[in-house]
Structures are given as C-alpha cells and as structure tokens.
Amino acid sequence: MTILHLEDIRFAYPGHAPVLDGASLRLEPGERISITGANGAGKSTLFRIALGLQKPDGGRITIFGQERQSEADFHEVRRRIGLVFQDPDDQLFCPTVAEDIAFGPLNLGRSKAEALAIVDRVLSDLDLMHLRDRITHKLSGGEKRLVTLATVLAMEPEALLLDEPTNALDTKNEARLLEILKGLPQAILLVSHTPAFREALAPDTYELRAGQLVDMRS
C-alpha cells in the first residue's frame, strides 16, 4: 500500500504568492526520496501539510490508502509517520533523554515499564545508551539531533520525514547519523541542502520549483 500520496497540493500564506501550486508526490514502502529547492520554496510547508499540521488550500492527501482531511484523520498519520524537525530544540522538552524518548510511547498508552523498555531498546540500537540519563538541554547539537531521531523511532513509525537533519552537525555526527539512517527499514522523505548526504541516503530526487515537484530521476 502506498504510504503517502499528495495530489495537486496548493497552499499560500496570507498576502503572499502560492508556495505550493499543484505539487504531487507518492512515497511507497521502503522508498527513499529527496526534495530539493531554494529557501522558502515550500519544502517544510509540504511536510507540515502531509502530517495535517497545516491545511492546504486545495488538493488531495491520501495516506495509507485513506483520504485525510479533518484533524481527526491525521491522528493515526502522526503515529505512523515520524517527523524529525529542522531544530532539535523544537522537539525535545523533557528534563532527561530517557523521559523525552518515553514520552511518545506513554502517549500511545504503553505502561511505564513498556515505555522504558522501548527507551533502552532504541538507545541500544542507536548506540546511544551513554546518553540515557543525561539532561537534554545540556547535550551538544549533534547529540540532540541523534536523540531527536530516537524519540521518533520510539514511536515505531512506518516512514520518516527528515527536515534538514544535518543542520548544525559536525562531520563526525553527520557521518554517524547517515550510518544510522541507512540501516533503518523505514521509507524516508528527506529535505537536505547537503548534496553528499542526499546522494548517500535518498538519491531519487524531486525539485520543488514554482510550487510544483519536478521529478529529477530521469
């Protein structure tokens, strides 16, 4: 089943020209796609629309085979598709790393013991167990980025939307993040200004140009 199908998506911020003007895209299970485009082209807006965080002015959003329109339609979507924000500080808000990672599973109704087991499994899988009891706001930028990914993976999503995941990362942490992402089974939609990172993780590329997604794969 197709994970995400955006058809003819249109969106304009009040008083501005449309940023999306007929954008269409499909994401299939296991597929990895990069979206490029100039700053302000609408890449982050497209992600927010896909998760129901912004309402398009027109077009059709079908996710996991069901058309999504109302806020209630997107509750399931946000459980099954994980978004890694451009700024980790927008996503991390609990005192410790373990609490941040446990937050999602607890919200899904897992018991405290189950949530903590997920915390340990995800941190172990990502080789980040040494950060488990650290105070989140004292982490380095690179550590915060990896913990942000851990909080999303704890929800066991079927796809990942990554918005500039290498933002402010040094070379070592960028390489570590790439290694982790390449080993994941999830479908991925990637927005990144780093050509080498895109090529290594999601070489199939669409360019957001004049409000439309242009297939650059051919």
pTM of the model: 0.90
pLDDT of residue 218: 58
pLDDT attached to residue 41: 86
Q: How many degrees, rounded to 5, is the angle at CA 197 between CA 195 and CA 199? A: 65
* Residue 91's pLDDT band (cuts 50, 70, 90): confident
In a domain, 172, yes or no: yes
C-alpha dihedral sign at 214, 63, 55, 162: negative
Residue 32 pLDDT greater than 70, yes or no: yes
Note the pLDDT of residue 173. Answer: 84
Structural domain tally of the chain?
1
**In Å, how far are 46, 94, 97, 158 from 12, measured between CA atoms?**
11, 34, 37, 29
Q: Are the beta carbons of 153 and 119 closer than 8 angstroms?
A: no
For 36, phi then psi, to 5°, come to -110, 175
Is residue 106 domain-resident?
no
pLDDT at site 58: 96
d(CA 178, CA 173): 8
Give the residue carrying structure tokens 């946000």: 78
Q: Look at residue 121 and tell me whether its pLDDT is greater than 80.
A: yes
Is residue 81 in a domain? yes
- Binned at pLDDT 50, 70 and 90, residue 88 comes out as confident
Torsion of CA 43, 44, 49, 53, to 10 degrees: 180
Residue 169 within any structural domain of the chain: yes
Task: Among 27-31, 125-129, 143-147, 213-217, name the most confident range.
Answer: 27-31
Residue 105 lies in a domain: no
Q: Which domain holds residue 192?
A: 4-94+158-215
CATH number at 79 reads 3.40.50.300
| Residue 178 domain flag | yes
Confidence of residue 142 (pLDDT cuts 50, 70, 90): confident
Q: Classify residue 44: in a domain, yes or no.
A: yes
For residues 23 and 39, give the distance between their C-alpha atoms in angstroms, rounded to a whole number: 17
152, part of any domain:
no
Q: What is the mean pLDDT of residues 131-143?
A: 91
Average pLDDT score over the chain: 93
